[in-house]
Amino acid sequence: MVKVAVIGGDGIGPEVIGAGVRVMRAAAKNDPSLDLDFTDFSWGCEYYLEHGRMMSEDALDTLAEFDTIYLGAVGWPTVPDHVSLWGLLLPIRRVFDQYINLRPTRLLAGVKSPLAKPGDLDITVVRENTEGEYSDSGGRIYKGTEHEIAVQESIFTRRGVERVVRYAYETAKERQGNLVGATKSNGISITMPFFDEIFREVGEEYPDVKASLMHADALAARLVLSPESFDVVVGSNLFGDLLSEITAAISGAIGIAPSANLNPDGRYPSLFEPIHGSAPDIAGQGVANPSGAIWAASMLLEHNGHPAAGGRILVALEKTLQSGVKTRDLGGEASTEELTSAVIENLGGAG
């Protein structure tokens, strides 16, 4: 049995995560080996406004008992972004040592890209997920005066950089054998040369992988101009975040893209989510694109030992989009419910 903790979150989060759960249930009906147990948790900004915290005090102990976590989106206009993010998602990533953020991108059949042609886009971004630029080391002094100072430190450890770089080399080895590391050592003179050194050191163990370093700004431009020339990209927490948003946009819409927050050694549960935000402007209208959440569900099943079921979900999603059933962000008119139902129908089940 795969025990899944479900956190719908805020805005469109519960809508798209509900769609993903329905699709996984439908996949399980056609696969006797797939036994799923879902438990819902109502944590998020609404919980914060009522309780003064984003999740319960024992939330991390509770989540540790699950095999995996399925998350919608976190954020709401009445709660500062740093409060919502640091109160829920980042503690989960760090306490459970989910040091790999894996963001695959490809142009799905039936989806039009503003830049890429079918077959031109198949990129996996490997992002460091627990340290780097997203550190809470620092502070502010002289608040409210003209002398106010804000300092925030980037934290790069040899262990942290080496393990994400090694994961990226392994991923490239299993794919097309081409790896690009995102750097900015021409401007960031301490942490980025450190990243570059470790990238080259680990690369000596992978002679069959064609590896190179590229400045992150030039890399961003190249992704836009020539997405077909990339295979695997690895970057720090910040660079990986930004570059994967670019690859998601190239794929046709942010609403398509999935994300996995992985603890590769399996000591702790991993977390799966769409990369889009809570989109409060369309929340409750039934028009949100559940594709990213459904793709994330596919990754969740694959990670938990059910690659065939995960693959069937992705095939059903692609078949649905190719048939013309699309939400409005993809140029269609389908509702969240209509797209979800079509995916379930293409799975050959009911949910």
Domains of the chain, earliest start first: 1-98+258-351 (3.40.718.10), 114-250 (3.40.718.10)
What is the rounded average pLDDT for all residues in the chain? 94
What b/e readout covers 2-40, taking b as 16+ CB neighbours within 10 angstroms?
Answer: bebbbbbbbbbbbbbbbbbbbbbbbbbeebeebebeeee
Tell me, what's the pLDDT at 303? Answer: 96
What's the rounded Cα separation, in Å, for the pair 270 and 287? Answer: 28
Tokens 């977390």 identify what position?
Answer: 271
What's the rounded Cα separation, in Å, for the pair 139 and 201? Answer: 34
Return the closest-CA partner of residue 255 out of 289, 223, 279.
289
Q: Are 247 and 212 in contact (CB under 8 A)?
A: no
What's the rounded Cα separation, in Å, for the pair 287 and 334? Answer: 7
Strand segments (E) across 63-111: 68-73, 100-106
Q: What is the largest CA-CA distance in the chain?
A: 66
Return the closest-CA partner of residue 220 out of 192, 190, 195, 240.
240
Q: Are 227 and 217 in contact (CB under 8 A)?
A: no
Q: Are 263 and 97 in contact (CB under 8 A)?
A: yes
Tokens describing residue 298: 């596919």
User: What pTM does this model have?
Assistant: 0.93
What's the rounded Cα separation, in Å, for the pair 64 and 319? Answer: 36
The CA-atom distances, in angstroms, between 240 and each of 11, 216, 259, 269, 295 are: 25, 9, 12, 22, 20
- In order along its 351 residues, the chain shows pLDDT tens digits of 999 999 999 999 999 999 999 999 999 998 889 999 999 999 999 999 999 999 999 999 999 999 999 999 999 999 998 899 999 999 999 999 999 999 999 989 888 887 767 677 899 999 999 999 998 899 999 999 999 999 999 999 999 999 999 999 999 999 999 999 999 999 999 999 999 999 999 999 999 999 999 999 999 999 999 999 999 999 999 999 999 999 999 988 889 999 999 999 999 999 999 999 999 999 999 999 999 999 999 999 999 999 999 999 999 999 999 999 999 999 999 999 999 999 999 998 655
Tens digits of residue pLDDT in 177-196: 999 999 999 999 999 999 99
Based on its alpha-carbon atoms, the radius of gyration of the chain, rounded to whole angstroms, reads 20
Q: Are 31 and 233 in contact (CB under 8 A)?
A: no
Torsion of CA 95, 68, 255, 154, to 10 degrees: 20
How does DSSP classify residue 272? E
Return the closest-CA partner of residue 247 out of 107, 128, 100.
107
Tens digits of residue pLDDT in 90-147: 999 999 999 999 999 998 988 888 776 767 789 999 999 999 999 889 999 999 999 9
- Angle at CA of residue 88, ends 9 and 15, nearest 5°: 10
Q: In a 3-state reduction of DSSP, which class is residue 325? A: coil
Tell me, what's the pLDDT at 273? Answer: 97
What's the rounded Cα separation, in Å, for the pair 234 and 109? Answer: 26
Q: Which residues pair with 125 in a beta bridge?
A: 103, 233
DSSP result, 3-59? EEEEEEESTTHHHHHHHHHHHHHHHHHT-TT--EEEEEE--SHHHHHHHSSSS-TTH
Q: In a 3-state reduction of DSSP, which class is residue 351? A: coil
